[in-house]
Amino acid sequence: MRLILFGPPGAGKGTQAKLLGQRYGIPQVSTGDILREAIKKGTPLGLEAKGYMDRGALVPDRVVIGIIEERLQDRDCAKGFILDGFPRTIAQAEALSLALKRLRRDLDCVININIDHEELWKRLTGRRVCCKCGEEFNIYYKKPSQDNICDKCGSGLIQRDDDQEATIENRLRVYKEQTEPLLGYYQKENKLKTAAGQGDIPSVSQKIYQILEENGL
Ligand SMILES: [Zn+2]
């Protein structure tokens, strides 16, 4: 089973990819993880990526796609894989198609976790994290019993820089401008399926499993 999990920041792609991987016995391939892995192993592409990251520059698509292509040839990907967080642009999607062609593999399905803007906004801006133990809360969905105090250890809760409204607004804008057009790209390729992303983690998982079953996967 070769899948891409797709959706805006806050849709729960990473969590769902992990659960899917466990259920079907295939690896979750997330760009951040495999970049770190390639750097740790000191592969030529890993070292090249490190050069860019050390300078605070974006790792170019050519390098990222090269690292992904290497990763997809590992033994554990023989049965399939779940890509999460990649591709993010049309150019990356085209490069991925070419890489898969070289590997003589084809994507089975692209699952879009669809979620309305208001819920996404609450999930992202409502997130609070304990400064000591790291426990996560959400002022809309998982309120601490006392405002700004961790239920687990009694320390203060903070809002990460990543979760500040301006940062989130920017992430959502970048997603809309650069990543959302991919929906049309995969629609044309007849690969796109949509799962409603509202509700808790298990209910979204169920919807994804149902889509896979309906498609004989
Ligand atoms: Zn705590």
Please state whether beta strands 127-130 and 136-138 pair in parallel, antiparallel, or not at all (unpaired): antiparallel
pLDDT along the chain (217 residues), means of 10: 94 93 95 92 95 91 94 94 94 95 94 93 94 95 95 96 91 92 96 93 95 93
Q: Which CATH number does 2-27+74-214 carry?
A: 3.40.50.300
Distance 134 CA to ligand 1 centre (A): 6
Strand partners, 127: 138
Distance 127 CA to ligand 1 centre (A): 14
Predicted pLDDT of residue 85: 87
**Which residue ranges make up each domain of the chain?**
2-27+74-214
Residues belonging to the binding site for Zn(2+) are: 130, 133, 150, 153
User: What's the pLDDT tens digit per position in 179-212?
Assistant: 999 999 999 999 999 999 988 899 999 999 999 9
Active-site amino acid positions: 13, 88, 127, 160, 171
Q: What is the pTM of this model?
A: 0.86
Phi-psi region of 85 (alpha: psi -120 to 50; beta: other; left: phi over 0): left
Residues belonging to the binding site for ATP are: 10-15, 127, 199
User: What's the pLDDT tens digit per position in 72-85?
Assistant: 999 999 999 999 98
Any residues with CB less than 8 A from the CB of 134 and at least 6 apart, and which?
none
Please state whether beta strands 127-130 and 157-158 pair in parallel, antiparallel, or not at all (unpaired): antiparallel
Distance 156 CA to ligand 1 centre (A): 7
Predicted pLDDT of residue 199: 87
